[in-house]
Amino acid sequence: MPILFDSYEAASDWYSTSDYKEMEWYDGFEEEQFIEFAYANGEHYDGEDSLIAAFLREQGEEPEDYGF
């Protein structure tokens, strides 16, 4: 099921209460960039894992390296 955020604040709230907040991200990771990606693109992905994998790929990272 797609993830729908009706506002940037909703995406930010989701991220701040998720386990992903504590995830070991890549060097240079910016929370705001990820939140913006989630807000703008969440509806295009079927679940949190696929959303995060797409974000990682967009950043030049391998999702498999992060367990996705």
Q: What is the pLDDT of residues 14-27, one digit of tens each?
A: 999 999 999 999 99
Whether the Cβ atoms of residue 31 and residue 15 lie closer than 8 Å to each other: yes
pTM (two decimals): 0.91
Taking CA atoms, 47 is separated from 27, 37, 41, in Å, by 25, 14, 11
Helices (H) and strands (E) in the chain, counts: 3, 0
Query: In the prediction, which pLDDT does 3 show?
Result: 86
